[in-house]
Structure 1
């Protein structure tokens, strides 16, 4: 029985992690299922990732990790990196719809997404040091990019769990919604993105990713290239013509 479900809602994809008995903890097998699902996605305008039950993802599977030797631990970490990098590198924007606990590997999965919308009941943290380890699925790097070095060090060194209000205040998430309104909030955000040129949104994502990975000057150079490439796509002509004609553009997709 699959633990990863996909639904295409007219160009907005919904990828749901469904292993509530664990609760959604990331074992090697589960990571493999997520990677397979991500690699099988059709072309989308936006992807939303969420979980079933009380957890977005409660963390990595501690029962599996407890018995690992150093070489096996290295492979486990690399597997998480590969899956989350695949999510991060998707051409479309990815929204984490955080329905509950996003701890350890769950926080790291969320950080691999472009945008994060969370339930008011959600909780976040990187509590790995309390287990004698460090974040191993990208948390030491992506959390620093998301909230800055000082706050990232505070959260990782203390292992402190924070609530949604604090997560919003430090920039870890971008929106809070009541649990019953969470899906609507995530879909509204996705639809706001979808109404624009998918080609242009994708180019913006590429430029920002390059700047984050390679530094400010490289990001500026990437912006010049991605800006110019927009003029090779029909959406540029349509968008500007529609603006001048005072009508809504009819973008042609990717």
Structure 2
């Protein structure tokens, strides 16, 4: 059973998780009404209207309780489980979401959820994983510097209770975590089937050269690198921060 700790105000649930990690059990969720220094991928600041959205971190400690050890080279299964769990929840609201590699959640070309996974490795195995997520629930207006945001309320016209939604989201993530241990191959298959832009031609930026190119996402490698078919037909693999999506 996952323990849930709510904070009225916190700098970052991921940072708080790191501070109190030794005190936590095998699976704990830290959630906040308001984050003052939430973080996203690439070091970006996660901006969220206080009380309008769901901001939380799932903290897993492996080799304790029911959390069996996971090899370090399999750590991407946590990203898959969390991203798929959130898309599963959105599906219960009749929202067809896609996973923008490695683990942001998009509806069409609009971002509804950001996920930041921070893993700790020891002796070839995962010691812990902190999966922070910011799910846009009720926010209607966003700062102009946030690219292509959308909220669940904008899409459905309904208002949501953050605490209730957290319980629903965690049920979905727990179901996907069972797949991590029982059938990781099916987890990978589900992830691939929901990849944003998979098998479609779009424009990207090579972050090393700054050059734009047309490519087709074909999947991910065993080590979770993004596999892109280049204009000349060859498959190139990109690590995180090596490729940028061009979204109009």
Q: Note whether the superposition's TM-score is higher than 0.5.
A: no
Identify the structure with the greater strand proportion. Answer: 2
Q: Which has the greater radius of gyration?
A: 1
TM-score by length of 1: 0.30
Identify the structure with the greater helix proportion. Answer: 1
TM-score by length of 2: 0.31
